[in-house]
Structure 1
């Protein structure tokens, strides 16, 4: 499994939205400019996220997007699944009667798939925002 640009850009856009929608909605144009992502591509990404209820759109002159839930209730797994679909590395055939397939499915593919899902389902959007803020506030001083 390889996460596409849709998934990678979607995560960046969601962090940007969480950072900037504290008191108001955020336009795609502003996210596009800050993150250097095509506004048209963001429209596709946000359509998928809106369909899953992860974000909400507001129409009108003061329109834009806000989070559908609290950042602490939105998981990276939710975002990636909305944009990428199933995150399985291999679709293991659970009903296979071949013992070799059963052995590999149980001992390799199912464990890899479970590990991936456990990781993305343990990281919230709030976690990413907090890590971003920590990185943004770290000032490195270089002396020569």
Structure 2
């Protein structure tokens, strides 16, 4: 399974909104500038996130986007599924021979476990200061 820029940049949007949670709306322009990304591309990604109920849009001169729920209630898996679809390392697992099928299922379950137990709040609170403080992901 390969996560495309849709999933990666969608997580970037959600992490930035989590960092600013409770401070009011954040514009996509601000997020795009902070991360040197295309604002137009982020606009394409925010729509499915809004439709899925993870973000709300605020209109007006000081408008933008806010999280629709607490950052601790939204997982990385939620966002990846909305933007990338089901989490699966290979297509057609059910057609594989038994030993291979078991391997693919174990890999899928391990990835799901990491994504479903990592919240947007976890990612927003992550710091790059010092190796010992680094958030480690094990699969």
What TM-score do the two structures reach when normalised by structure 1?
Answer: 0.82
Query: Do residues 101 (structure 1) and 97 (structure 2) align?
Result: yes
Q: Pairwise mapping of residues 3-18 of structure 1 onto structure 2 (< 5 A)?
A: 3-18=3-18
Report the Cα offset of residue 102 of structure 1: 3.1
What residue number does 1:142 align with? none
- The alignment yields a C-alpha RMSD, in angstroms, of 1.7
Give 1 or 2 for the bigger CA radius of gyration: 1
Distance in 2 between residues matched to 1:109 and 1:21, nearest whole Å: 37
Of 90, 113, 116, the match for 2:108:
113
Report the Cα offset of residue 10 of structure 1: 1.3
Structure 2 unaligned residues grouped into runs of 5+: 131-139
What residue number does 1:34 align with? 34
Structure 1 unaligned residues grouped into runs of 5+: 140-144
Distance in 2 between residues matched to 1:20 and 1:39, nearest whole Å: 18
**Number of residue pairs matched?**
130
What TM-score do the two structures reach when normalised by structure 2?
Answer: 0.85
